[in-house]
Amino acid sequence: MNNKPLILITNDDGVDAKGIKELTECLREVGDLVVLAPDGPRSGMSSAITSSVPLTYTLVKEEKGLTVYKSNGTPVDCVKLALNEVLDRKPDLLVSGINHGGNYAICVNYSGTMGATAEGCIVGIPSIGVSLLNHRPDADFTECCRLGRMLARQVLKKGLPHGTYLNLNVPNIPNVKGTKVCRQADGRWINEFFRSENATGQPVFWLTGTFENSKPIHPDNDTLALDSGYASLVPCKIDVTDYEFLAELNSWFDA
């Protein structure tokens, strides 16, 4: 009988990214690990799912306490494949990441890392997304691993409410001051395209942009915490219903 927790790991940068490899190494002492991650980059895939082409997964390696698979699917597809086809029991924890680049504020909406995290939550697994504010392939994940592992242990011990998952972002500095529990900053991206042209002179548009923290009126928002040298931790909900607006919207339909 194996009493070690079972941890499912995935990401959106692909199975060969440094972030998922370092995350895997640092979680080996916490539980038995199954990695099922995309076979290449899937950044910005949000909660996209694949229904137009068939999905596959293949074994990459198998060691004591660690099995690694890769798939042609999205991050969410990877979670679905792991749960439906690969694992013989529900994992005790899902960790998605470590993402190369931040997923604070509205980025939670576009991120494949956070899409996979939400998917774990939807199927009832306590789930954490972990991101480092550094896009470089050779980023230093030391602090991020330390804080992510601490959080993984806490979630394994305490659990999470039904329908709630966690979004951890870590600033790209050597000595992070600690973890601050935050709300999602209210902001958006502006100036979103770099205009260029293709070989025949037609205009083409590359997605880029600048994040604008539009109204930082709440001092507990995640963007400000990161700017101050703290890791930000936002508890996120699957249920997006705006309960505060229900009554007024109902009044639109009174006879």
One of 184, 223, 225, 232 touching a copy of itself (CB under 8 A): 184
By CB under 8 A, is residue 76 in contact with a copy of itself?
yes
One of 43, 103, 172, 232 touching a copy of itself (CB under 8 A): 43
Distance CA 69, CA 78 (A): 9
Least CB distance to a copy of itself at residue 158 (A): 7
One of 89, 158, 175, 201 touching a copy of itself (CB under 8 A): 158
One of 4, 29, 65, 246 touching a copy of itself (CB under 8 A): 246
By beta-carbon proximity to a copy of itself, the closer residue of 24 and 34 is 34
Pairing outcome for strands 193-197 and 203-207? antiparallel
By CB under 8 A, is residue 193 in contact with a copy of itself?
yes
By beta-carbon proximity to a copy of itself, the closer residue of 49 and 66 is 49
Instruction: Find the helix or strand (DSSP H, E) in which 25 lies.
Output: helix 18-27
Contact track, a copy of itself, 1-40, x by CB under 8 A: ----------------------------------------
One of 49, 60, 156, 173 touching a copy of itself (CB under 8 A): 49
How would you write 100-155 as a 3-class SS string?
ECCCCCCHHHHCHHHHHHHHHHHCCCCEEEEEECCCCCCCCCHHHHHHHHHHHHHH
Cis peptide before 217 (omega within 30 of 0): no
User: Which residues is 35 bridged to in the sheet?
Assistant: 9, 68
CB neighbours of 35 closer than 8 A, spacing ≥ 6? Answer: 8, 9, 10, 15, 20, 24, 60, 66, 67, 68, 69
Least CB distance to a copy of itself at residue 50 (A): 6
By beta-carbon proximity to a copy of itself, the closer residue of 65 and 161 is 161
For the chain, how far is it from start to end, CA to CA, in angstroms?
63
Least CB distance to a copy of itself at residue 73 (A): 9
